[in-house]
Structure 1
Amino acid sequence: MFDFLFSAIVIGAGGTALLDVWNLVLHRTRGLPLPPWHLVGRWFAGMRRGVFVHTRGISQSPPVDNELRIGWVMHYVVGIVFAMALLLLWGTHWAHAPRFFPALVVGLVTVGAGWFILQPGMGVGIACSRAANPAQARWLNVAGHVVFALGMYLSAKVFL
């Protein structure tokens, strides 16, 4: 059990960290906005009050205490949960002899969590359908999850 949890933390945090680097590179080279982790924190915090969907958009909901901190923590928690899914599907032995394909499968499948849970919950619609540029948002979602997959693979390869 310890090997499973330790591996999931290393793999999930590593994949999430590479995704954060990717977002920073896109921000600095392409001028794309950084992910609004404070709004993600607001969404997660709202769940405690029974608010799971912000139909007018999460930015219209009142701020909550520590929403930025909550958003960052949950960003990494979700990455670790996705790494747990990878290890549950392919076994903890994957962490010690990783192959990229399983990480890619999990990375691509988890795009659906954003498209069908997070984004509708935050009021952006299914697959960012209400975003200013839905096609760009979708492409960035897919590319980001491929980067996340690469980060999971490299974290297992380098650190485990």
Structure 2
Amino acid sequence: MNDMMDFWVRAVSIGIGATLIMDMWAVFLKQVFHIPSLDWAMVGRWIGHFPRGRFFHAGIGTAELIAGERAIGWIAHYGIGIAFAAGLLALMGVEWSYQPTVVPAIAFGVVTVAAPFLVMQPGFGFGIAASKTPAPNTARVRSLMAHTSFGVGLYAATLAVSILIPVGSAA
């Protein structure tokens, strides 16, 4: 068995699963409570400006459109979920994924809210932790809820992977 292959099979599987659960939470909020979720095209637009050396915008909604921005945003969303899952496995050790526990997964998910607060929202022109938006506390709570759901997803996906991919079979 290749340890690196085991790590990456688990990281990719867990990251996709956790991100999918996060997305299911967003659909639930939209359908039941009419709470809109992040438009992934805006993430794609933001990323699409990186090659031009533009990382910060006054308002991402008024920034120049980028070809394929919605696809870029969705790919980035799942790629980041995989990267975060890899981070959790690197922090806890891949052995944790063989018999996962809930607290590290949810805690790690909550900590990932630092990424939108400190990187994406300022890049969008929304300020640190959405401080420049009309309702910053609402935006903060929504981000925290989304990343908590990602943490729940990390645990659920890791639990599923621990059952579906027994130790030693990911090679």
TM-score (norm 1): 0.96
Tell me how far apart the structure 2 counterparts of residues 48 and 106 of structure 1 sit (CA, whole Å).
Answer: 30
TM-score (norm 2): 0.90
Q: Secondary structure at 2:126's aligned position in 1? A: coil
User: Which amino acid is the alignment partner of residue 9 of structure 2?
Assistant: F
User: Which amino acid is the alignment partner of residue 3 of structure 1?
Assistant: D
Are positions 1:159 and 2:161 aligned together? yes
User: Which amino acid is the alignment partner of residue 142 of structure 1?
Assistant: L
User: Which amino acid is the alignment partner of residue 25 of structure 1?
Assistant: F
Aligned pair count?
159
Tell me how far apart the structure 1 counterparts of residues 53 and 96 of structure 2 sit (CA, whole Å).
Answer: 38
Provide the aligned C-alpha RMSD in A.
0.9
Q: Map Cα deviations across residues 76-121 of structure 1 (whole Å, 9 max, x no partner).
A: 0001111111001000111111111111221111111110001000
Q: Secondary structure at 2:52's aligned position in 1? A: coil
Partner of 1:133: 135
What stretches of structure 2 of length at least 5 have no aligned partner? 163-171
Are positions 1:19 and 2:7 aligned together? no
Displacement of 1:2 in angstroms is 0.5
Partner of 2:51: 48
Mapping of residues 11-90 of structure 1, within 5 Å: 11-54=14-57, 56-90=58-92
Q: Map Cα deviations across residues 1-20 of structure 1 (whole Å, 9 max, x no partner).
A: 01111111111111110110
Q: 2:120 aligns with which of 115, 118, 121?
A: 118
**Structure with the greater alpha carbon radius of gyration:** 2
Q: Percent same amino acid among aligned pairs?
A: 38
Tell me how far apart the structure 2 counterparts of residues 86 and 63 of structure 1 sit (CA, whole Å).
Answer: 34
Q: 2:10–2:161: 8 Å Cα contact kept in structure 1?
A: no
Tell me how far apart the structure 2 counterparts of residues 3 and 81 of structure 1 sit (CA, whole Å).
Answer: 15
What stretches of structure 1 of length at least 5 have no aligned partner? none
Q: 2:56–2:123: 8 Å Cα contact kept in structure 1?
A: yes
Are positions 1:5 and 2:19 aligned together? no
Tell me how far apart the structure 2 counterparts of residues 158 and 58 of structure 1 sit (CA, whole Å).
Answer: 37
- 4+ residue segments displaced more than 4 Å: none
Mapping of residues 91-102 of structure 1, within 5 Å: 91-102=93-104
